[in-house]
Each structure stands twice: as C-alpha cells, then as structure tokens.
Amino acid sequence: MNWWQEFVEYVLLRTADEVKKMASYLLQKIKDNGGSLGTELFNAIAGLTVGIALDCVILRKNPQTQKLEIYLTQRGPDEAYANQWHCPGTFMRPGENEKMALDRLGKNELQAVVHSFLFCDETFLPEERFKTFLDRVYLLNPEEEPANPNGQWVELLKLHDLNVIKHHMEFVIPAACQKAREINLFH
C-alpha cells in the first residue's frame, strides 16, 4: 500500500469534524504556498461556497468589412467544456476586486492589458455544479489586440457556425450586446 492509500484509509476513519480540520489545514498549506487550487480541486470544492465568475466580451467593428465581431477563445481538450468556444473569463480569488481579477484575465488569457471594462448584467450559472457562482458579464476594452493563440475574432452573425458554450450564447453575449447598444458603442 502506498502513502496515498494509507492516508485515504486514515481519513475515512475520522469524524466529520476531524476531516474538516484536516481539510482546513491542507487548504491553508495550499494558500501559503501560492494559493492556486488547480482545476480538479477547484471543481471539487466549487459547490461548497458562493463565488463570482467574470465573463468578458470584447467587441469590435472590423475595419475592413465594418461587421461587428466578438473575440472568442477555444478551450482545451482536457478543460471543462472541452474544445468549445467561449468568451474569456475567470473566477475571482480571495482578496481580489474586479479590476485585479480582470487584469489577471488580461495577462493570462488574453495576453493583453485591460484598458477599461463596463458591467453589463449578472445571473447565477445554470450548470448544476456551478449553481453557487454568480456570473457577472463585462464589456472589456483591451489596450491592444488579444494575442492568445487559441483566440480569434468571429463575426457575430456567424456565431452559430461554432460550438460556443450554451450559457455564453444564451446569456453572456446577448447581455454584452444589449449594453453595447445602450451606450451606443458602435454608433
């Protein structure tokens, strides 16, 4: 038996309060060592707390065609929503405000500096495993073109040609487009 199996057997013999105390200790160790939970652990504890998801929509009028376009990125084969297209997004981390989270998103997912952002709308995420996450939608204005190798500009009228995450098609993109109309973003 390896150490991991021995540990699991040990944990299974503990009371619920003892397991919670161990989990608290282990989570604190993760926090003290940089704080990144990783996808597997994040998904395992996601339904235990209320969190905030930030989905960001970047729109532009194509300078050549004058057609409205949206910037989407494609998720990897080993990620949630494997190989689907989506608006860039992130989850807020403890101690972050929205600007900090969006700046991190710009650096990590867009590979571009966030110049400004505008709140559009919010709802709770529809998927069963994420019902405890409030999804806030923002129009994002980067200082330069996003440089994510998995991203591309897509004409809004051609979104149905791609496999876009359902929640983004039904809520995120319409909310941002509505806000863009309200503020007369493209005259």
Structure tokens at 174: 């319409």
Q: What is the CATH number of the domain that holds 104?
A: 3.90.79.10
Domain assignment present for residue 40? The answer is no
**Full residue range of the structural domain in which residue 103 is found:** 51-182
In a domain, 145, yes or no: yes
List Cβ neighbours of 25 (8 Å cut-off, separation of 6 or more). Answer: none
Cβ 34 vs Cβ 121: under 8 Å: no
- Quick one: 95 and 156 in the same domain? yes
In a shared domain, residues 72 and 22 = no
Whether 44 maps to a domain, the answer reads: no
**Whether residues 115 and 24 fall in one domain:** no
Q: Closest Cα partner for 134 from 145, 143, 126, 142?
A: 126
How do residues 121-133 score in pLDDT, each as one tens digit? 999 876 656 567 8
- Domains identified in the chain, total number: 2
SS3 track for 147-185: CCCCEEEEEHHHHHHCCECHHHHHHHHHHHHHHHHHCCC
Q: Quick check: 163 and 83 in contact, CB under 8 A?
A: yes
- Residue that wins the pLDDT comparison between 41 and 158: 158
Does residue 178 surpass a pLDDT of 90?
yes
Q: Is residue 42 part of a domain?
A: no
* Residue at 127 is within a domain: yes
Residues 112 and 150 in one domain: yes
User: What's the pTM value of the predicted model, to 2 decimals?
Assistant: 0.78
21 and 84 both lie in a single domain: no
The pLDDT of residue 71 is: 97
133 in the same domain as 80: yes
Shared domain for 124 and 86, answered yes or no, is yes
28 and 96 both lie in a single domain: no
Residues 91 and 137 both lie in one domain: yes
The string of pLDDT tens digits covering residues 139-164 is 999 999 999 999 999 999 999 999 99
Pair 142, 106: CB distance under 8 Å: yes
Largest CA distance in the chain: 68
Looking at the fold, whether 122 and 149 belong to one and the same domain comes out as yes
Residue 90 sits in the same domain as residue 19: no
Report if residue 78 sits inside a domain.
yes
The answer on 61 and 24 residing in a single domain is no
Q: What is the amino acid identity at position 22? A: M
